[in-house]
């Protein structure tokens, strides 16, 4: 996985620059070609293809950028408890979610954002496997694995582990699918739904902490993923227990992203924080919505890379009507030309995908804090 990660990072950075040339030049070319001509149409298609490739690169970078940012002691019991309502929102009404936590603390040493990512990836896959609805059970256990169990299936050291189980009653998987689930880019979903990187990322995160994943699935009956992470001894005090409850800011947030999954997930996170959420899949639709409804916006959250006008252009246009509303940009293109720290105003900030509830909450509170000063 490490070698794959490094290679992915290298390829992704190089590809990024190539794509920038393709997209940048086709943008320059478009306005000087007669509109409606074959040439203009081809250039439009080149640009669209560049955008699709950019999306893939962004996904690759998220796998590659896997080093733990902040390792602390995380109690899976608390983490699951804190995310339960949020997970309920992303899985929707048709899915019946139940959670069960362990009797004793299930403490592991990890970056909490990454463990949230693991849980989200598994829950979203479970939701996708149950389009007609079903049951989703999330459980936390503390388990001792002896030599046999640890070794035979899981390739782990014997010892104490925190177990995270995610079980669905969805479509399940046949043997061929099951054998490939952790493979980069392996997906059985249409391109706008699946990237085939969710489980690759999940696997990378879990392995990095010395853990393992076990999958059990039967076609037509459902799937159970079990994640094992080494338990941290009781003696080590949890740095801070649950995150302090954030102030309930309220108000309306506009969220713009062309990926429906991102809109739904980020929208759910913001609703969880107490905001009303307006969504749009491109800048033009966002402008149109603001024009029509003139909402009072507490915050604007937008992807930087959008089809048509960019997130940056959108913010510039909205600035006229919303001079005091902070803007949070989301993107995977941290080191990109389109994004320059120096150009960020005091009411602007930036968050890298994939976005986790914790990172979003911190950023939003920081921005709103600045805005209220």
Q: Which stretch binds ligand ADP (CB under 6 A): 49-57, 65-73, 75-83, 186-194?
A: 186-194
List the one residue from 170, 211, 311, 357 that touches ligand ADP (CB under 6 A): 170
Alpha carbon of residue 156 to chain centroid: 28
Nearer to Mg ion, 44 or 194 (CB): 194
**Contact predicate 113/65, CB 8 Å:** no
List the one residue from 61, 129, 206, 269 that touches ligand ADP (CB under 6 A): 129
Q: From the CB of 105, what's the least distance to ligand ADP, in Å?
A: 27
Stated length of the chain: 373
Backbone angles phi, psi at 5, to 5 degrees: -60, -45
Q: Which stretch binds ligand ADP (CB under 6 A): 107-115, 180-188, 238-246, 336-344?
A: 180-188
CA distances from 99 to 138, 226, 242, 333, 342 (A): 5, 14, 17, 35, 45
Q: Which stretch binds ligand ADP (CB under 6 A): 72-80, 88-96, 183-191, 337-345?
A: 183-191
**Counting contacts by CB under 6 A, is residue 196 touching ligand ADP?**
yes
Residue 160 in tokens: 């104490």
3-state helix, strand, coil in the chain (%, to 5): 45, 20, 35
Backbone angles phi, psi at 79, to 5 degrees: -60, -45
Nearer to Mg ion, 114 or 125 (CB): 125
**Counting contacts by CB under 6 A, is residue 360 touching ligand ADP?**
no
Q: From the CB of 59, what's the least distance to ligand ADP, in Å?
A: 9
Q: From the CB of 265, what's the least distance to ligand ADP, in Å?
A: 13
Binding site for Mg ion (CB under 5 A): 125, 198
Could you please report the per-residue DSSP string of 116-147?
HHHHHHHHHHHHHH-TT-EEEEEEEEEEEE-H
Give the interface with ligand ADP as residue ranges (CB under 6 A). 121, 125-126, 129, 168, 170-173, 177, 181, 186-189, 194-200, 223
């Amino acid at each position: 996985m490490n070698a794959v990660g490094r290679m992915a990072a290298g390829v992704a950075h190089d590809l990024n620059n190539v794509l920038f040339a393709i997209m940048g030049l086709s943008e320059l070319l478009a306005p000087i070609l007669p509109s409606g001509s074959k040439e203009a149409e081809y250039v439009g298609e080149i640009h669209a293809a560049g955008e699709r490739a950019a999306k893939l690169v962004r996904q690759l970078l998220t796998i590659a950028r896997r080093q733990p940012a902040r390792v602390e002691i995380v109690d899976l019991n608390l983490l699951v408890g804190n995310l339960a309502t949020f997970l309920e929102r992303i899985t929707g009404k048709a899915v019946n979610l139940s959670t069960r936590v362990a009797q004793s603390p299930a403490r592991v040493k990890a970056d909490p954002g990454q463990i949230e990512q693991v849980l989200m990836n598994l829950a979203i896959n479970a939701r996708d496997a149950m389009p007609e609805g079903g049951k989703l059970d999330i459980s936390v256990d503390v388990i001792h694995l002896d030599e046999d169990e640890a070794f035979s299936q899981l390739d782990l050291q014997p010892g104490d582990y925190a177990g995270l189980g995610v079980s669905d009653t969805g479509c399940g998987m046949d043997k061929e699918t099951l054998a490939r689930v952790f493979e980069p880019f392996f997906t059985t979903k249409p391109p706008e739904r699946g990237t085939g990187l969710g489980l690759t990322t999940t696997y990378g995160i879990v392995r990095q902490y010395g853990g393992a994943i076990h999958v059990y699935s039967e076609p037509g009956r459902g799937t159970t993923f079990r994640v094992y992470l080494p338990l941290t001894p009781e003696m080590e005090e949890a740095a801070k227990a649950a995150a302090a409850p954030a102030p309930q800011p309220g108000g309306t947030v506009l969220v713009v992203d062309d990926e429906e999954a991102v809109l739904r997930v980020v929208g759910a996170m913001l609703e969880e924080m107490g905001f009303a959420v307006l969504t749009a899949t491109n800048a033009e639709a966002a402008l149109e919505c603001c024009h029509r409804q003139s909402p009072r916006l507490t915050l604007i959250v937008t992807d930087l890379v959008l089809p048509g006008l960019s997130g940056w252009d959108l913010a510039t246009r909205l600035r006229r009507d919303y001079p005091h509303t902070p803007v949070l940009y989301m993107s995977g293109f941290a080191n990109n030309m389109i994004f320059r720290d120096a150009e960020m105003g005091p009411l602007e900030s930036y968050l890298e995908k994939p976005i986790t509830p914790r990172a979003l909450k911190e950023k939003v509170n920081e921005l709103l804090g600045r805005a209220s000063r």
